[in-house]
Structure 1
Amino acid sequence: MKDKGKGILIEAPKPMKKKDQVKMDAEYAKKLQEALDKEHEESYKNIDWDAALDHVQSKE
């Protein structure tokens, strides 16, 4: 605890436990992966596959 000189004691924040940090990181990774998957899905839907196929075949 820290004394601010006014008789008020402020408790120092406790560092996170390793287990809690791992859990928080896993939750963040899951949310990030879901966001990336959603973005990839939207991009995949916007591809004009006929044009892409024509482009590939024209290079052969």
Structure 2
Amino acid sequence: MVRRTARDLVAARFADSRGQVAVARSGHYQVGRDGGVLSLSPKHAETDTRVTVIVSYD
């Protein structure tokens, strides 16, 4: 059995409030005061794959 990481299973895309797409291979995105949209889509995931998204506010 091959164990895959979350990056292997789910594609993440973040666009800020101006529509600029940010790429973060580390999985960390910086969000300004105006916010943005985080989209997650399956790459090699099963339909019942669970993903945890952690949001922290400084």
Using the size of structure 1 for normalisation, the TM-score is 0.21
Higher relative contact order (CA 8 A, sep 6+): 2
Query: What's the TM-score once normalised by structure 2's chain length?
Result: 0.21
More strand by share: 2
Greater Cα radius of gyration, structure 1 or 2 = 1
